[in-house]
Amino acid sequence: MRFEISEKDLGSYRRMADLLNFNNTDLLCVQHEFGIYGGAAGSHLLALLKEVRMPVVTTLHTILSDPDAAQHRVMETLLSRSSRLVVMSRKGREILKETYGVSDEKVDIIPHGIPDLDFVESRLCKEQFGVEGRQVLLTFGLIGPGKGIEHAIEALPEIVRKHPNVVYLVLGATHPHLMASEGERYRLSLERLVQERGVKEHVIFYNRFVSLDDLKEFVGATDIYLTPYPNEAQVTSGTLSYVIGAGKAIVSTPYWHAQELLADERGVLVPFHNPQAIAAGVCGLLDDTVRMEKIRRAAYAMGREMIWPTVAKRYLQTFEEARRDRRHDPQIAVDFDRRSAPRAAFAGWTLASRPLELPPLRLDHVIRMSDGTGIFQHAIFNVPNFHEGYCTDDNARAYILCNLLDEIGAQPPMENLVAQSTCYLAFLAAALDRKSGRFRNFMSHGRQWLEDAGSEDSHGRALWGLGSGVGRSRNEGHRKLAAQVFELGLGAVEKFTSPRAWNFALLGIHEYQRRFPSEEKTSLLREVLVERLIKLWKEYSSEDWPWFEASLTYDNARFSQAMLLSGASMHHEEALAVGLKSLNWLASIQTTQRECFRPIGSNGFYQRYGARADFDQQPLEALAMVSASCEAFRATGDNFWSLEATRSFEWFLGRNDLGLPLYDFSTGGCSDGLHHDRVSENQGAESSLAFHLSLAEMKSAEQLTPLSPLQSVSAQ
């Protein structure tokens, strides 16, 4: 049985879970590394782990002692879903205990597996490479700045001065992620450094990914292996393990795995970022062949514990332990009788136990509504309305969408939107009047600004969009420009009087501080804005009207969302409590007797002590409720909020007062509103972006579990 998972296709992971369940699979062995699975921090993998009904053994190739929030959430779920964990070093087990609270009893230390290689003299393998009679230094693997190869090159002049026959072989292709972001910039910088240091006759770059058989020959011809890695925080190195198994002399910096493997005179450890120490280490071995031989044999002896047959036996023991633990765990209702396993898997297909099947991403209409300037405001049916031009509000929303989709690893046609995201950001940058520090909002089709300054709300939305570029974009130029414009536009906010502008600015600050969490100016402004909202809450809220104003108008749930995000970031218990209480009330009054979502209508809104308007219902309100509910779920772990987000999202698909979908599956557009008797036929930017932002939020939320439940905050 073979099944290939598509990295960025979340459904592919669930199909894999179904396949494993229906085929009575006894155990799932997961090889985990950040960056190889789709979604934020590789979170797509969790969709598989949440649905499989067999013990899971996870081998952790990277264990971060200082993970970011997304990595921490993914790791916590991964650890909880795994019956047993395998690490390749004592340091890995130590980090799991200190950072994630994992008990030692759940963790097995099994070394990185290697082939069983013969102990051979390097001179026997050199002729085929044309380096006979020379002393060969080697570094191999995927090439990138994390290898520290520049430090080895800096050491070469001194090495060559003492040993003129030395040649340094750098073997391996550039890391594909690095190639995607900056091409061969790093490798070319190394080649320039070689020329500047006058050692071009002593360095060979072999820019290829070689087969295992070819690698054996390269390692066989090696006298000394170099790992001058610049970062201590590396718990596993497959290349180091491989070379130890071949019995080669090694000079390495003391990253965690090297400290363990090269202890007891199995190699030479030198300080980080120190070419002089590397030169001394290499020359010390080349000058003392007796010591070098002793080190080689000690390394080779240890390598016998790492060959695949030995490692395989230890894995089998771990697998049996996982099955035994799972079978005896009273908390897990799993029938291990192979004959009943298929029926248990089939029972798991009920709608009550599986997540909402989200629509596929279709960005045709968003692209159709956009040109080289930005995204048009309005549409006539599904055709852009040139006469109404553009606005900053919608370009900010479009830019947020681009960053969200890129972060969650959306599949095509996301690629079609990447180039367009530059236009959205350029629009936001052009919207700022740098003299006044205010954003303009409306632009004609002829690219003429129609005002000197836009509304405070549009200013706040611009900051929100720019903040998302700072905090989420993988494009360095985007991040720098977004930060520059964000910082220039932030100063005006303190004088604003619009509470919604405060909300949008707080959301933008939250995004900005994903990358700059300690930036003083934004932290101080966030404190000011949160206190203003709390003051409003105390002024207007009561038991029967727990709200920030005397009316409910538009983008209502953004109040609650801003308080939840800011409260969590600031560890502000009152802000968190207000956010949850206000959102809980909002959910209660936006629910029909049939349990469908009914947002406050824009045809009159809802005044305190007055009648509420039920129509015209706007997509923006459903989006705000989806976003706020997702944040409440992350903050509390209460599944009520997951269901609330789903209920609000389903409003787009027809779970509403009229039973009519607003989202058009054929165009990828969304209707502008739900009237008392019909759906609007126009598919403008605001509405279509509201749907796609909601879809992106739902896709993001379904990948993650909450960071940690809040014990002291209730939603009462």
- The Cα 139–Cα 121 span in angstroms is 18
pLDDT at residue 709 above 50? no
Q: Using omega within 30 degrees of 0 as the cis cutoff, is the peptide bond preceding 452 cis? A: no
- pLDDT of 335 above 90: no
Q: What Cα–Cα distance (Å) separates residue 78 from each residue in 4, 25, 72, 114, 329?
A: 21, 19, 10, 26, 18
* Whether pLDDT at 426 is above 80: yes
What does pTM read for this prediction? 0.82
- C-alpha 273/C-alpha 536 separation (Å) is 54
Pick from 108-112, 352-356, 406-410: least confident:
352-356
How many angstroms separate the CA atoms of 648 and 587, rounded?
Answer: 9
Q: Flag the least confident range among 35-39, 434-438, 584-588.
A: 35-39
For residues 351-359, give the mean pLDDT: 70
Q: Is the pLDDT of residue 341 over 70?
A: no
Distance CA 571, CA 299 (A): 50
User: Is the pLDDT confidence value at 93 over 70?
Assistant: yes
Contacts of 704 (CB under 8 A, 6+ apart): 40, 43, 46, 70, 73, 74, 77, 634
Instruction: Please state, in angstroms and as integers, the Cα–Cα distance from residue 557 to each residue in 266, 531, 538, 632, 648, following that order.
Output: 61, 18, 18, 11, 11
Q: pLDDT digit string (tens) for 445-467?
A: 999 999 999 999 999 999 999 99
Residue 272: phi and psi, rounded to 5, are -70, 150
Q: Whose structure tokens read 């019995």?
A: 247
CA dist., res. 336 & res. 344, Å (int) = 10
| pLDDT band for position 342 (cuts 50, 70, 90) | very low
Q: Are 393 and 439 in contact (CB under 8 A)?
A: no
Instruction: Find the helix packing angle between 520-540 and 573-589, rounded to 10°.
Output: 50
Q: What is the mean pLDDT of residues 414-429?
A: 86
247 phi/psi in degrees, rounded to 5: 70, 45
What rounded mean pLDDT belongs to the chain? 92
Q: Output the pLDDT for position 710.
A: 43
Domains of the chain, start order: 10-113+308-347 (3.40.50.2000), 122-303 (3.40.50.2000), 364-703 (1.50.10.10)
Average pLDDT over residues 8-31: 91
Rounded-to-integer distance, Cα 389 and Cα 376, Å = 6
Measured CA to CA, the distance from residue 420 to residue 399 in angstroms comes to: 9
Secondary structure tally for the chain: helices H, strands E: 26, 20
| 554 HSE (CA, 13 A, CB side) | 12
Residues pairing with 140 in the sheet? 171
Instruction: Give the count of alpha carbons within 13 A of 74, CB side only.
Output: 28
Residues 377-401: what's their mean pLDDT? 98
Give residue-wise pLDDT tens across range 211-242: 989 999 999 999 999 999 999 989 899 999 99
Identify which of 117, 108, 98 has the alpha carbon closest to the alpha carbon of residue 308: 117
One DSSP character per residue, 260-313 reads: HHTTTTTSEE--TT-HHHHHHHHHHHHH-HHHHHHHHHHHHHHHTTTBHHHHHH
Identify the pLDDT of residue 708.
40
**Res. 416: pLDDT tops 90:** no
Q: How many CB atoms lie within 10 A of CB 314?
A: 16
- Tracing tokens 């002049």 back to the chain, one arrives at 157
The Cβ of residue 416 has, within 10 Å, a number of other Cβ atoms equal to 12
Asked whether the predicted pLDDT for residue 478 surpasses 50, the reply is yes
pLDDT 10s digits, 244-286: 999 999 999 999 999 999 999 999 999 999 999 999 999 999 9
CA neighbor of 353 nearest in space, from 363, 361, 365, 344: 344
Question: Which 3-state string (H, E, C) describes 444-462?
Answer: CCCCCECCCCCCHHHHHHH
- What is the mean predicted confidence (pLDDT) over 407-425? 78
Q: What is the DSSP letter of 151?
A: H
- Work out the pLDDT band at 414, boundaries 50, 70, 90: low
Q: In whole angstroms, give the CA distance from residue 17 to residue 509.
A: 39
pLDDT band at 593 (very low <50, low <70, confident <90, very high): very high
pLDDT, residue 469, reads 97
Tell me, what DSSP letter sits at residue 27? -
The whole-number pLDDT of residue 344 equals 52
- Residue with the bigger pLDDT between 714 and 625: it is 625
Q: 328: pLDDT confidence band, cut at 50, 70 and 90?
A: low
d(CA 269, CA 257): 12
